Chains A and B, each alone.
Chain A
Amino acid sequence: ETGVTQTPRHLVMGMTNKKSLKCEQHLGHNAMYWYKQSAKKPLELMFVYSLEERVENNSVPSRFSPECPNSSHLFLHLHTLQPEDSALYLCASSQDYYTGGFWNTEAFFGQGTRLTVV
């Protein structure tokens, strides 16, 4: 258990459905992320929230809509998805800290949601 919890673990949805992915972190981190992991591709950053404000969305299609109501919770709202959106969606959180004369970063991932769009 990494301290980052994602639900659901598996989701099958039709192209006309609306669903939401949830992520919760208990680490006191100040930044949260959504990543998409497709086969044989690097992890793709979708959204970054820092102190509950979105700082990047990397031109993700509007059928993905993030929400960060507080620093511990992050949602990804899904609607009218396409089959190519089927992937593993990973949530992560991070925190910077200063030690030994350097800024360091720790980042942990949730277990992911395996999404299948049919």
Chain B
Amino acid sequence: EDKVVQSPLSLVVHEGDTVTLNCSYEVTNFRSLLWYKQEKKAPTFLFMLTSSGIEKKSGRLSSILDKKELSSILNITATQTGDSAIYLCAASRPVTGNQFYFGTGTSLTVIP
């Protein structure tokens, strides 16, 4: 059965801390791993990873895919209260229109 598992389920840190969020997947014919940040409603796109071992960075956020371990991590350095959100990862496989499998998300709370 295709699935995506995220850990931890929730995390509380202080401003300035560095956090690492984990995502593992078992998806047939895997194509891409996507990370989203969800604050109130719509998940907003962060990264798409297709190649193993190539880090993608955007400001204080970075992510990398390990296809051998079927996993990905999302790092956030120097966390700020605005980083508080649910972080979702999704694995896609190519059917017509794509199929995305989502994890339950990691709820991150950053305390001042």
Contact = CB atoms under 8 A, between A and B. Distances in A.
Nearest to B43: A109
A109 B92 contact: no
B45 A105 contact: no
A104 B102 CA distance: 17
A9 B41 CA distance: 10
Given A90-B43, A104-B50, A105-B31, A45 B100 contact: yes
Interface stretch (A35-43, A59-67, A78-86): A35-43
Given A2-B42, A49-B97, A112-B42, A107 B104 contact: no
A21 interface: no
B94 A96 contact: yes
A104 B33 CA distance: 10
B42 A111 contact: yes
Contacts of B88: 43
Given A43-B88, A102-B50, A102-B51, A108 B99 contact: no
B1 to A, nearest CB: 13
Contacts of B104: 40-42
A105 B42 contact: no
Interface string A47-77: 0111100011000000000000000000000
B96 A55 contact: yes
| Chain B contact patch, size range | 20 to 34
B6 to A, nearest CB: 9
Contacts of B80: none
A48 B99 contact: yes
Contact of A107 (B4, B50, B51, B100): B100
Contact of B92 (A41, A100, A107, A110): A107
B97 A48 contact: yes
Contacts of B48: 104-106
Interface of A: 2, 4, 9, 30-31, 33, 40-43, 45, 48-51, 55-56, 88, 90, 92, 94, 96, 100, 102-112, 114
The 7 closest A-B pairs by CB, nearest first: A50-B97, A31-B97, A43-B102, A112-B41, A111-B42, A109-B42, A50-B96
